[in-house]
Amino acid sequence: MSIGGLMRTSVSGMNAQATRLSAVSENIANANTTGYKQTTTEFASQMLANGKGMYNSGAVEANVRTLISEQGGLSYTANSVNSKKVDLAIMGQGFLVVDDGNGANMLTRAGSFTQQPDGTLVNAAGYTLKGYPVKAGGTDYVLNGFEGLQEVNLSAGLLSASPTTKGTLTIPLNKNYVAETVDANLPSKNGPPTADPKTTISKSLTVYDNSGEAVKLDIYYTKTGENEWEMAIFDSRGATPGSSGPFPYNEVPLPADPADYVALTESMGNAKLTFDPANGYALSAIADGTKMTSTDGKTLKIDLSGINGSDSFMLDIGNTTQFTGDNQPLAAEVNGNPAEVIDKLQIGKDGTVRALFTSGTFRDLYKIPLAKVTAPDNMTVVSGNAFAPSLESGSVLMGFGGSDGFGDVISGALESSTVDLASELTTMIESQRSYTANSKVFQTGSEIMDVLVNLKR
């Protein structure tokens, strides 16, 4: 073994420990950084060829790795999308997709976002949160890339109207009602249903037209035969003024001014419902009626163009049942919203950003996806607690929280740094001693070199 080799080996040892101390220093500095992933240092020996009676010391190589896949603890905050700060955390696998400002997509677990004046959400590193806009047909979602993603803009849904295009309505029909046998008495014919015995059940549902105006629909279910009912829908604005009866569409007053004459109100649509007694009196068929059609026996396609609304309002009535009594559960929900300011915003575990309006209606604005790779620890670490997929990490797979192996998106929480200060301080002491020991080896080699030089003198 040469003296030069001795000194080179000790220098590699000092360099390796210096690298480890640098990693420790970075970890300690980021002990309170949201979403930070701990960096570890591993050593690998480098050996030289040796012969009989001769030994050549090798060296040591320091390999720095970031434990990107490690889950940090969650700390809950008071910041949700009801305020100007939006805190998001992920419990489980997955990363938020952000824009670095130059058009590049990065992955991060640092979910502390602040709403900017333009409505976008930007975190402390300057990265902008991205998601899929929710459209009438869903989202432009792809599995294997970032196609379709846009910057999440919370001001995009302000003061915007959205017409009703789909909904759910479940009304329990009382089997004990008596069938109306006179066709002229059916609501669809503008006839008053028989008051005694009971033949008709009336309910109301609010929908929104293309301008965002709320329109109350009056819905009448009239029993027409054994296990058969007629469903008729009216625009409540066409009801007879001043009428106090259970069916205010059967009388047409003659106003003094002919220009104010109100014609006989027509039903907006009607359909025939049939129930199967062998299947627990569940809805078994829907016969097409005026302006109301069905192809699947569960969903009605209703033409609301007469009230300046959608011409294809899809109303799911598949859970409508016919039982004795009126104590069965109700369900009534439609999409669409008036042109008003958003009252509150919520983010679900699947990443859906939902706007709640003061009227009580809601609208889904965005769906925030999660991204994951096969080997997350092999991604490239970039500034700002972000990561870029690499060849070693594998390609990106997109999904949503709570499904397909992805974690849940937790609103109003942040993921803490994975750094353990006690462990880092222990590592720092170990590295300091190892560095000192290597320096002593170098010092010894230097002294031996001095002895060789002095032999010449």
Give the CATH number of the domain where residue 280 resides: 2.60.98.20
Residue with tokens 């993921």: 415
What is the structure's pLDDT at 57? 77
Check whether residue 125 and residue 19 sit in a common domain.
Answer: no
Check whether residue 197 and residue 251 sit in a common domain.
Answer: yes
The two tokens of residue 332 are 């009534």
Helix (H) or strand (E) holding 14: helix 3-29
How sure is the predictor about 50, in pLDDT bands with cuts at 50, 70 and 90? confident
CA distance linking residue 276 with residue 57, whole number of Å? 88
How sure is the predictor about 325, in pLDDT bands with cuts at 50, 70 and 90? low
What is the structure's pLDDT at 285? 84
What is the structure's pLDDT at 259? 42
In a domain, 160, yes or no: no
pTM for the model: 0.66
Does residue 81 contact residue 413 with C-beta atoms inside 8 Å?
no
pLDDT of 272 over the 50 cut? yes
Check whether residue 102 and residue 14 sit in a common domain.
Answer: no
DSSP SS3 for 260:
helix
Range of the domain at 297: 166-334
Q: Average model confidence (pLDDT) for the chain? A: 85
In a domain, 311, yes or no: yes
Half-sphere exposure of 84 (CA within 13 A, CB side): 4
Check whether residue 80 and residue 215 sit in a common domain.
Answer: no
Check whether residue 308 and residue 404 sit in a common domain.
Answer: no
- Identify the weakest region by mean pLDDT among 103-112, 116-125, 180-189: 180-189
Check whether residue 321 and residue 189 sit in a common domain.
Answer: yes
In a domain, 158, yes or no: no
Give the start-end residues of each E strand in 277-326. 282-287, 292-293, 299-302, 313-316, 321-323
Q: Write the DSSP symbol of residue 280.
A: T
What is the structure's pLDDT at 7? 85
Task: Convert the pLDDT of each residue in 207-239 to its tens digit.
Answer: 999 888 889 999 999 999 989 999 999 888 888
What is the structure's pLDDT at 408? 95
Check whether residue 188 and residue 212 sit in a common domain.
Answer: yes
Neighbouring C-beta atoms of residue 405, cutoff 10 Å? 12
Check whether residue 264 and residue 227 sit in a common domain.
Answer: yes
- Identify the weakest region by mean pLDDT among 211-225, 322-336, 345-359, 438-452: 322-336
Higher-pLDDT residue of 364, 400: 400
How sure is the predictor about 128, in pLDDT bands with cuts at 50, 70 and 90? very high
Number of domains in the chain: 3
Check whether residue 184 and residue 40 sit in a common domain.
Answer: no
In a domain, 151, yes or no: no
What is the structure's pLDDT at 94? 95
Higher-pLDDT residue of 62, 140: 62
